[in-house]
């Protein structure tokens, strides 16, 4: 999706110029993996170069998908070009102070942290959870909350009674052990968050996940992607506005039997260049369905079956007979019923019987 990335970057640059933006915040997950592809690095490098030419300040942190060391590379040199890159937590909350007509604004850059990575810096504190780690980091910064402060963080923040929107493409620790209550950050004038792909506010109007610039998974199909324009005036005077990002190709889901989906009448109704997730409702087996589908729709991302077998709830099945009292054929018959949701037909039954009675090769 590199061309898609370039397309949204062009829109972001355009917004920076038209809205006369002073600073750009990138709150982590620069790449989708710790060792990104060289093509992805080049695309993002081009974007950073374009940002540098706009003369805006860029404040960037690493996320849980990123390699902190890679993100931090040459950060001291780039600071001279107003590119503030914070990939690794080094024991203190990094502070960048910018100025506007109202005076100073303090930006606090906090890359993704884990309790274990913080313990070595705060040995006197008991740090067992993600919340403990964040609390220790913020407490050590000695922040003057009478001034204007913006926190940039890449963690999973929640508020009691609020269920955040999550997506398949996010890395989610088992049991939600990474959850941090927003009460720890509510005193900041604005909190710019990375990590969650869906645009949302958590617990307060000034604690915001702007979301990812593109749809990266099936769970994001219904989302509208945007960047968030934040106007921070005098203390406690905050205005936010969503600026839409239009993709080169949309992502959507289509459903039906394969013959129907591949018919000229149906295909004419679909933008064949879109990224598609396809649900096949055929009952019979299909030989190489992905190859068939991509002959019509070149950007099929995934497909799955939805039929009487996949919809069948097998949780209520109970085997009343002890397995050692069943023949091999009876065992297989119960296995087939549990997996497929229906009994074998006459032809299938005969195939199994023939295989079980066949003499083994010498």
Query: What backbone torsions phi and psi does residue 70 show, to the nearest 5 degrees?
Result: -65, -40
Q: Which of 236-245, 252-261, 344-353 has the lowest mean pLDDT?
A: 344-353
Cβ neighbours, 10 Å, residue 201: 18
The residues near 59 (Cβ < 8 Å, ≥ 6 apart) are 23, 24, 25, 26, 84, 86, 96, 107, 109, 152
**Percent share of the chain, pLDDT over 70:** 91
Return d(Cα 9, Cα 1) in angstroms, integer.
13
| 215 within 8 A of 246, measured Cβ to Cβ | no
Predicted confidence band of residue 341 (pLDDT cuts 50, 70, 90): low
Per-residue pLDDT of 148-188, as tens digits, reads 999 999 999 988 777 777 777 666 554 456 889 999 999 99
220 falls in which pLDDT band (50, 70, 90)? confident
Q: What is the mean pLDDT of residues 289-293?
A: 91
* pLDDT for position 80: 78
pLDDT at 316 (0 to 100): 52
pLDDT tens per residue, range 265-285? 999 998 988 999 999 999 888
Model-level pTM greater than 0.85?
no
CA angle at residue 3 from 166 to 27, to 5 degrees?
Answer: 40
Nearest-angstrom CA–CA distance, 85 and 87? 6
Distance of CA 44 to the CA centre of its chain: 18
The angle subtended at Cα 347 by Cα 346 and Cα 353, nearest 5°, is 90
User: What torsion do the CA atoms of 269, 274, 276, 282 make, to the nearest 10 degrees?
Assistant: 30
Q: What is the pLDDT of residue 361?
A: 66
Distance CA 228, CA 152 (A): 14
DSSP character string of 210-231: ---SS--SGGGTT---EEEEEE
Q: Is the dihedral of CA 235, 79, 111, 36 positive or negative?
A: positive
Q: Per-residue pLDDT for 68 more than 80?
A: yes
Q: What's the confidence (pLDDT) of residue 175? A: 46
Q: Write the pLDDT tens digit of every residue in 46-62.
A: 999 999 899 899 999 99
Mean pLDDT of 126-134: 89
- Looking at every residue in the chain, the average pLDDT score rounds to 87
- pLDDT, mean of residues 284-309: 88
User: Taking residues 191-217, what's their average pLDDT?
Assistant: 91
- Give how far the C-alpha of residue 321 lies from the chain's centroid of Cα atoms, to the nearest Å: 47
């Amino acid at each position: 999706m590199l061309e898609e990335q370039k397309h949204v970057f062009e829109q972001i640059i355009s917004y920076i110029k038209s809205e006369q933006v002073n600073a750009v915040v990138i709150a982590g997950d620069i790449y989708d993996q710790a060792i990104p592809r060289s093509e992805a690095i080049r695309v993002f490098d081009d974007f950073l170069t374009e940002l540098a030419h706009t003369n805006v300040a860029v404040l960037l942190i690493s996320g849980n998908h990123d390699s902190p060391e890679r993100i931090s590379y040459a950060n001291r040199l780039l600071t001279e070009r107003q590119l503030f890159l914070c990939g690794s937590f080094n024991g203190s909350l990094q502070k960048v102070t910018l100025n506007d007509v109202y005076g100073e604004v303090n930006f606090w850059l906090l890359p993704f942290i884990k309790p274990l990575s913080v313990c070595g810096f705060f040995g006197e504190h008991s740090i067992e959870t993600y919340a403990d780690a964040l609390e220790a980091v913020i407490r050590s910064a000695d922040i003057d909350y009478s001034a204007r402060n913006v926190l940039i963080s890449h963690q999973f923040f929640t508020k009691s009674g609020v269920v955040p929107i999550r997506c398949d493409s996010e890395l989610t620790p088992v049991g939600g052990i990474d959850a941090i209550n927003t009460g720890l950050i509510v005193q900041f004038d604005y909190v710019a968050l990375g990590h969650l792909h869906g645009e949302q506010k958590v617990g307060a109007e000034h604690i915001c996940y702007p979301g990812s610039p593109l749809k990266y998974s099936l769970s994001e199909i219904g989302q509208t992607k945007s960047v968030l324009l934040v106007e921070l005036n005098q203390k406690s005077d905050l205005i936010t506005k969503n600026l839409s990002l239009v993709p080169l190709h949309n992502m959507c889901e289509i459903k039906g039997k394969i013959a129907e989906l591949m018919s000229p009448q149906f295909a004419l109704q679909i933008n064949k260049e879109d990224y598609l997730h396809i649900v096949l409702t055929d009952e019979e087996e299909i030989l190489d369905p992905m190859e068939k589908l991509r002959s019509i729709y070149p950007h099929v991302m995934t497909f799955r079956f939805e039929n009487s077998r996949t919809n069948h709830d097998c949780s209520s099945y109970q085997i009343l007979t002890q397995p050692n009292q069943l023949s091999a054929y009876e065992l297989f018959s119960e296995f087939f019923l549990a997996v497929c949701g229906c009994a074998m037909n006459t032809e299938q039954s005969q195939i199994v019987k023939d295989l079980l009675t066949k003499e083994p090769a010498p």
